[in-house]
Amino acid sequence: MSSRGGKQKKGNVTSEQEEEEQPLQAVLVADSFNRRFFPISKDQPRALLPLGNVAMIDYTLEFLTSTGVQETFVFCCWMSNKIKDHLLKSKWCRPTSPNVVHIITSDLYRSLGDVLRDVDAKNLVRNDFILVYGDVVSNIDVSQALQEHRHRRKVDKNISVMTMVFKESSPGHKTRCEEDDVIVAMDSKSKRVLHYQKTQGLKKLQFPMNIFQHGSDEFEIRHDLLDCHISICSPQVAELFTDNFDYQTRNDFVRGILVNEEILGNQIHLYVTQDGYGARVSNLQMYDSVSLDMVRRWVYPLTPEANFTDQQGQGCTHSRHNVYRGAEVSLGHGSQMEENVLIGRDTSIGANCHISNSVIGNNCTIGDNVVLDRAHMWNNVHVSSNVEIHQSVVCDGAVVKEAVRLNKQCVLAYNVVIGPNLSLPEGTVVSMHHPEEEEEDDDDEFLSDDQEVGHSKDKTRQKAFNPAEVGPEGKGYIWKASMNDTEDEELAQCLWGLVLNPDPESDSESEASEESQDRSRSVSPEIDDVNAFQLEVLGTLQRGLEENIVCDNLVLEINSLKYAYNITLKEVMQILTRVVLEYPFQQQGTQLTTLQYTGSLLPLLKTWSPVFKNYIKRAQDHLDCLSAVEELFLEQDTHQTAMVKVLMKMYQLEILEEEAILKWFSTGATNDKSRQLRKNQGVRLGQICVWGKPSQNVKGYQFGHCGSLILLLQKETTLLIFSDGVQRKQTPCSQCHKKESCGMV
Amino acid sequence: MELQAVLMAAGGGSRMMDLTYNTPKPLLPVGNKPLIWYPLNLLERVGFEEVIVITTKEVQKMISTDPKVKLDVKMKLDLVCIQEDADMGTADALRHIQQKVKTDVLVVSCDLITDAALHEVVDLFRAHNATLSMLMSKAHEFTETVPGQKGKKKTGEQRDFVGVDGTGKRLLFMANEADLDEGVVIRKSIMRKHPRMHIKTGLVDAHLYCLKKSVVDFLADNKSISSIRGELVPYLVRKQFSKSTNSPKVIDETHQNLKKNDKIQISSRDEELLHLTQERSCWNDHRGDMSDAYHGGRLRCYVHIMDEGICYRVNTLAAYIEANRLAPKLFDEPAVHPSAVVSERCLIGADSIIGASCQISDKTSIKRSTIGVSTTVREKVKVTNSIIMHGVTIEEGCNIQGSVICSNAVIGRGADIKYCLVGSAQRIEPDGENPKLQARSLYFPYTQSPQPSIHPHPPPLPPTPPNSYKLKAQHSKRAQFKDSP
């Protein structure tokens, strides 16, 4: 019995092993599908650009091999022949290589999506595979991530389709660049990615609520992650790319999966490494930092002296302060290599040079008194004496003549000659390709890129070099951002990526505005409601006019708004009055004359009178309405004369009652201004009474000197209305105590 | 004196009106002690000698007169009364006692029952010279059946979103789900300073806050803030990252008040020294960049989140029942009060509490229950999972299970009560034999149109019941009595 059990166990183990033993595959995309490295990448594909004197694709392949990948598919498009040649010569294509490299080339690949669709069409992957770009430099051991990925797939039945590998690094770290900056919301326990967003150009990060409704009660929002662009994918990923032909990049894919999570039921997880190194050389800024990280041995065991590409003559020695010297390097008298310097073989350096944080390629010659700081020189570069180079890239075959100064972020592309006696301003890019040829090529998007270079070469000869730009003996053109790409992205033209600004001051502005918002909100939150309600009422009335909506429906709508914004009836009326009276201003601007104003307002009053009547019922309502009218006309003091017309119209439309108007007139004015208004309008108010009161037989009106209004009624009686008191019949004016003189006609 | 303790005990208990109808919330018996005793005891344990208790006149009167409400604390209680009908929030109350506040304050709510180590909160406050530090706990699931609540608990409750930094201490974000229509919006600059933010949702705020004195002064100037939890705390959390709060005195934004500014400077004279120390020290609260500790911010909010231990806010009926179950574990007192008369021939579980001068008769069994002061339990009664308050009389042969019987109620002979809440001074007196009350019902003296069989004595107070009451319609009761022969 026991032996049988043991056997069974063994059987299980072997079956598991078999599963594991399927060779780990990787898809390496040796094309970036963008032009970030133009014009450098016009002559050499990005994957073959040297970093620490080794082509970048070799780092990627070494990384894959060291994590146990046994079969790698290298997809190339741009200059595929060069990549193919390089790989065929390299150790990866030797028969002893543990990692079998298949090179698949096609000119039709225009994006990562195309590559993965081809992977699916050719049925290349059978199991989980690693997806990387040809410019990823990493020493991360992804075996644990792979294990987690497999475990998840086993437990959750293929729900998880991708595990993205991230490296922990604080914001502001120099290997983070703005364009690759991401923010990730994840479930703390399951490490599931809930939200993935590039933060470039954003000030506020918004996370939709639905990502927090997955039952978990703990989430993490992480901004301390550096995207290594290494992903562990299940075979479904290729299928999903086929299904969704609009997925172009991995970013599209991730967003698509997250948005359609509920429909497709696929999930993405992440794996965060703390001590590995992983970065993608996506722009020159990254190139600069990764290159220095390499020299500073962060990518150990991939170090310059390790010669992992196993090429003859590549070996170098490592001495303290991270100074590496290749074979046959000669160093002149008094030259100092301060720190983090890598010098390739057969390079000679003159006397009294200062070199720090730089990489110099093979077969370079450097003159006397040269200062190099963060210079990246590739092979066969000639630098004359008295040259200063700061944080710049000098490509193969370039010649820098005497007394040239390259300021920060300059690029000398292949075979350029600069100088003598010239200082290149910051960010200058000099190339043998004329920028205009680029434009011409751009017109034909579907031409193969290889061809572009071929047939444009003749044209370059025809154009003369500008000695002011490249020096009297210089050869090359200043490379400028071509204009027709502006719609694309301005950034795409910026060879050096944007540096992360560790403390952007720009934030303060938004903070300040937010603060003021805060303050107003905290002081009286109701104001917002009232304002919002006012806007809504305005909108409703506007729509009512446009669409000819019956007033009853308008009332219904306003009533529902009233509840939505928790507005009292009194406020409704005030707001309604205000909105209606302001309507002409709202529509035709504030520059209206009084005549125009009344002309447009009075018909409106007529149309909306049922709305008013619905709200103005009790005596108090009338007064409230009147005070709203008064308030408005106090603000619009140029239109005060219109007030009486408005009141009269409202009276005629039976919105306001005469008693109410009189009462309003007589109840005390609250301040000087309104008193003035009443006085001015008093005469006209009399008109209302006259016009409006045939019943009481008003014969005429008079105006008392203390502001009272005297209506002459029939039967020889008068009605006195005081500006501060009630109406009295035939009572002498109590204010001036002058029985005869005060208004008594 | 480093901290002054302020106990907020004026809340009406609006979420459990059924219980607080006759007894104010601070005096509800939990484990035969008034609710207010628990926070007082918590403060006493950590060495406070004086507490400012903000409460209502009613509570004050009852504390001083009612013998059943024995607070049993040695601390000096400074009772401050506020008007009940003034609708004051907690921040209003704090503003009310501003004159008494001389130092930083520790604000506790009267409904907090916890065994938390208070020093954790205070240590955060001290260590980071924080403006605010508070206590939170993982939310507990209430498993017991709650009277009056039928079916499952309503889902889709509004959750609080609390964002803390990588250490889990610094409070970065706080919002209620209800306010997050547009999703969680976080400024990038905050993420840059605190790149790893944990957002937690399953937390209960214990309503225990350490606040700087300047915050109390700030409240005095800003009358619009009325609640600590609802307005002040979110405000402070938000203010942590705004530019203008680089110095603590700017917290009161009224710059004109020069006098006030001077005062604050005088009161925090060692602040300068502290600042200097911070400048000279190589200590930093974060890693990853080279900026100063706290990124130069002077307003800091911290939170201590309890992973384990008891932390309840007794503000709902469910929490009240749960608290009663756990209360015996919080203090070591004999389960049966020495003055209680307990028959030898009855069964009392170890997890039950019998209050003072109770009478428990023969053949009675009491399990997992609390019996209040001066309660009489007659023969052959079975009480399980229930809370019996003070002065209740339970006649023979009753069976009470999972219920809450409020003070001075009388349960008639042979009643069978399951998952019910019986209101204060209510009499359950059947005319037939062995009445059986509808399970999961609430019985109140103010039920509309009382049934004579249930209410032989009309209740003294028939107020209009608030809308929120879930009153069981009488027909359900009628139905039961129809059933019984």
Query: Which one, of B450, B461, B421, B460, lies nearest residue B17 by Cα?
Result: B421
Average pLDDT value over all residues in chain A: 78
Q: What is the mean pLDDT of chain B?
A: 77
More confident residue, A380 or B463: A380
pLDDT tens-place string over residues A265-274 = 889 999 999 8
- Residue B458, preceding peptide bond in cis (omega within 30° of 0): no
Please check whether the two domains, B4-313 and B334-483, share a CATH topology: no
DSSP A549-564: --HHHHHHHHHHHHHH
Q: Which residues of A touch B (CB under 8 A)?
A: 169-173, 183, 188, 199, 202-209, 212, 217-224, 502-504, 507-508, 510-512, 514-515, 518-519, 522-524
Residues 6+ apart with CB under 8 A from B5: B43, B48, B50, B51, B52, B105, B106, B108
The DSSP bridge partners found for residue B133 are: B210, B302
- What's the pLDDT at A715? 54
Helix axes A569-588, A594-615, angle to 10 degrees: 150
pLDDT category of residue A1 using cuts at 50, 70 and 90:
very low
Which tens digits make up the pLDDT trace of A544-577?
888 888 888 888 888 888 888 877 888 888 888 8
Distance CA A471, CA A696 (A): 102
Under CATH, what is the fold of the domain B4-313?
A: Spore Coat Polysaccharide Biosynthesis Protein SpsA; Chain A (3.90.550)
Q: What is the pLDDT of residue A121?
A: 92
> Does residue A85 have a pLDDT over 90?
yes
| Model pLDDT, residue A709 | 58
What is the predicted pLDDT for the residue at B264?
39
Q: How confident is the model at residue B436, as a pLDDT?
A: 59
What is the pLDDT confidence band of residue B484, given thresholds at 50, 70 and 90?
very low
Q: Look at B409 and B142; give whichever has higher pLDDT.
A: B409
Confidence of residue A676 (pLDDT cuts 50, 70, 90): low
Element (H, E) at A712: strand A709-713
* Cβ contact A6:A39 at 8 Å: no
- Average pLDDT value for residue range A709-713: 57
Q: What is the pLDDT of residue B59?
A: 85
Confidence of residue A719 (pLDDT cuts 50, 70, 90): low
Task: Give the pair of three-digit tokens for residue B72.
Answer: 């049993």
Give yes or no for residue A130 having a pLDDT over 90: yes
- Among the ranges given (A346-350, A412-416, A652-656, B480-484), the one the predictor scored with the smallest mean pLDDT: B480-484
Which site among A507, A518, A521, A522 would you substitute to test the B interface, given the most B Cβ atoms closer than 10 Å to its Cβ?
A507
Residue B434 pLDDT exceeds 60: no
Residue pLDDT, tens place only, A482-505: 544 433 344 444 566 655 444 444
Of B195, B198, B253, the CB nearest to A171: B195
Q: Which of A123-137, A415-429, B294-308, B465-479 has the lowest mean pLDDT?
A: B465-479
Give the integer Cα–Cα distance in Å for B159 and B175. 9
Residue of B nearest to A526 (CA): B224
ipTM: 0.79
* Mean pLDDT score, A359-375: 93
Return the minimum-mean-pLDDT range out of A136-150, A452-466, A589-603: A452-466
Nearest to A206 among B185, B196, B199 (CB): B185
% of residues, chain A, pLDDT over 90: 30
| pLDDT at residue B444, rounded to an integer | 62
DSSP for B140-196, please give it.
Answer: PPP-S--TT--SSPP--PPPEEEEE-TTS-BEEEEEEGGG-TT-EEEEHHHHHHS-E
Task: Indicate yes or no: CB of A212 within 8 angstroms of CB of B161.
Answer: yes
**Residue percentage of chain B with pLDDT more than 70:** 79
Chain A residue closest in CA terms to B235: A518
Say how far apart CA A139 and CA A300 lie, in whole Å.
7
- pLDDT for res A713: 54
How far apart CA A501 and CA A488 sit, in angstroms, is: 24
Burial of B329 (0-12, 13-18, 19+ CB in 10 A): exposed
pLDDT of residue B254: 40
Q: Which of A151-155, A665-669, B442-446 has the highest mean pLDDT?
A: A151-155
> Which two tokens mark A14?
């072997």
Class of domain B334-483: mainly beta
Query: Of A58-67, A464-473, B187-196, where does the model show the most confidence?
Result: A58-67
pLDDT, residue A684, reads 55
Chain B CB contacts of A183 under 8 Å are: 188, 191
Residue B270 contacts by C-beta under 8 Å, 6 or more apart in sequence?
none
Spell out the domain ranges in chain B. Answer: 4-313, 334-483
Q: What is the mean pLDDT of residues A609-617?
A: 81
pLDDT confidence tier of residue B5, bands split at 50, 70 and 90 = very high
Give whichever of A1-10, A35-44, A87-96, A432-441 has the largest mean pLDDT. A87-96
Average pLDDT over residues A467-471: 85
Distance between CA atoms of A679 and A723, rounded to whole angstroms? 8
Q: Residue B23: its pLDDT value, please? A: 82
Average pLDDT on A526-530 reads 65
In the predicted model, is pLDDT for residue B182 greater than 70? yes
B81-104 confidence digits (pLDDT tens): 888 777 788 898 998 898 999 999
* Percentage of residues in chain A having pLDDT higher than 70: 76
Bridge pairing between strands A422-424 and A404-406? parallel
pLDDT tens-digit map of A285-317: 889 999 999 999 999 888 988 888 888 777 889
List B residues 134-163 in contact with A (Cβ-Cβ < 8 A): 159, 161, 163
pLDDT of residue B460: 41
Identify the band that residue A356 occupies on the pLDDT scale cut at 50, 70 and 90: very high
Looking at residue A495, what is its pLDDT? 62
pLDDT of A392 strictly over 50: yes
> Sorting pLDDT into bands at 50, 70 and 90, what band is A665?
low
| pTM, 2 dp | 0.70
pLDDT band for position A515 (cuts 50, 70, 90): very low
Mean pLDDT of B303-318: 87
pLDDT tens for residues B39-57? 998 998 888 999 999 988 8
Chain B residue with CA closest to A214: the answer is B201
Work out the average pLDDT over A100-121: 91
Q: Which residue of B has its CA nearest to A208?
A: B183
Interface probe for B, chosen from A219, A270, A506 (most Cβ of B below 10 Å), is: A219
- Interface size A-B, in CB pairs within 8 Å, comes to 117
pLDDT at A614: 80
Higher pLDDT, A394 or B423: A394
